[in-house]
């Protein structure tokens, strides 16, 4: 059973629909207490990092996620879920969960013809092997919608990258936490494979 954190952010139902399609048991949870016996946790989201952190704290998810992380429960963050797993986001100068040390800067691009948000399909390159990324082929693309990107302090926490003038981390991880900046639930069959691999993951790399 995958528990999906409901913190009033967008895009929750599309993650649920993707898991339902894959016939992976799942349900929403609205409070941190419900994470105590979780087998797997997905932490999705579109929206503002500051708003996300406010709601996570109100519902006790900040403490519960840290506890689940320390228990070794496999956790997957998506988009804003990935961003707030770092120490800080420049979006609203927001202190975040600090499960992985690092920051989320905004895209500052010199080529003004490149648009921010970075929105659309872009290729993702695996930089170190991870069980969740095992099926990825060269040139596989994923769907992105974001203006900020996750930047762990330790490059060892980066598992895949993407190019948009700069090379930025597209998938990060540390121990039993794995997170993508892209939306696997909107990235076709290749994206669904990521969710399927997460459902089978025991949290070790």
Partner 1 sequence: MLSKRVISCLDVRDGNLAKSVKFVNTKDIGDPVDAARRYYEEGLDELVFYDITASSDNRNIMIDVVSQVASQVFIPFSVGGGLRTVEDCSQVLQAGAEKVNVNTAAVQNPQLISEASRAFGAQCVVLSMDVRAVQPTPEIPSGYEIVIRGGRTPMGLDAIEWAKQGEDLGAGELVVNSIDADGTKEGYELKLTRMIADAVSIPVIASGGGGKPEHLYDVLTEGHADAALVASILHYEEYDIRELKEHLHRRGVKVRMNW
Which positions touch partner 1 (CB under 8 A)? 10, 13-14, 17-18, 20-21, 46-47, 112, 115, 117-123, 137, 139-141, 143, 145, 163-164, 185-192
Report the alpha-carbon distance of residue 84 to residue 103 in Å, rounded: 9
Report the alpha-carbon distance of residue 175 to residue 112 in Å, rounded: 38
E strand or H helix that includes residue 193: helix 188-200
Residues 6+ apart with CB under 8 A from 194: 132, 133, 180, 184, 187
CB of 17 to partner 1, least distance (A): 5
Q: Which is nearer to partner 1, 1 or 21 (CB)?
A: 21
CB of 65 to partner 1, least distance (A): 24
Strand partners of residue 180: 78, 171
Q: How close are the terminal C-alpha atoms of the chain, in Å?
A: 21
Q: Which is nearer to partner 1, 134 or 153 (CB)?
A: 134
Q: Which is nearer to partner 1, 13 or 31 (CB)?
A: 13
Is the Cβ–Cβ distance between 184 and 194 less than 8 Å? yes
SS3 state at 41: strand
Q: Which is nearer to partner 1, 145 or 205 (CB)?
A: 145
- Give me the active site residues, please: 79, 183, 185
Look up residue 49 and give its two tokens. 């990092």
SS3 state at 70: helix
CB of 77 to partner 1, least distance (A): 19
CB of 137 to partner 1, least distance (A): 6
Look up residue 105 and give its two tokens. 């800067």
């Amino acid at each position: 059973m995958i528990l999906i954190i409901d913190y009033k952010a967008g895009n929750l139902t599309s993650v649920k629909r993707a898991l339902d399609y894959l016939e992976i048991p799942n349900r929403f949870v609205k409070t941190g207490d419900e994470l105590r016996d979780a087998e797997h946790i997905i932490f999705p989201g579109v929206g503002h990092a500051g708003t996300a952190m406010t709601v996570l704290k109100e519902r006790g998810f900040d403490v519960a996620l840290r506890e689940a992380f320390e228990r070794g429960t496999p956790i997957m963050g998506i988009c804003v879920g990935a961003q707030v797993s770092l120490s800080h986001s420049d979006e609203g100068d927001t202190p975040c969960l600090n499960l992985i040390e690092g920051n989320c800067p905004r895209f500052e691009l010199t080529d003004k013809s490149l648009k921010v948000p970075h929105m659309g399909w872009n290729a993702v390159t695996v930089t170190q092997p991870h069980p969740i990324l095992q099926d990825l082929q060269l040139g596989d693309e994923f769907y992105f919608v974001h203006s900020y990107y996750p930047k762990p302090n330790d490059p060892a926490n980066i598992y895949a990258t993407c190019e948009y003038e700069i090379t930025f981390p597209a998938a990060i991880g540390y121990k039993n936490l794995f997170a993508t900046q892209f939306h696997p639930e909107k990235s076709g069959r290749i994206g669904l494979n990521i969710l399927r691999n997460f459902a089978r993951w025991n949290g070790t790399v």
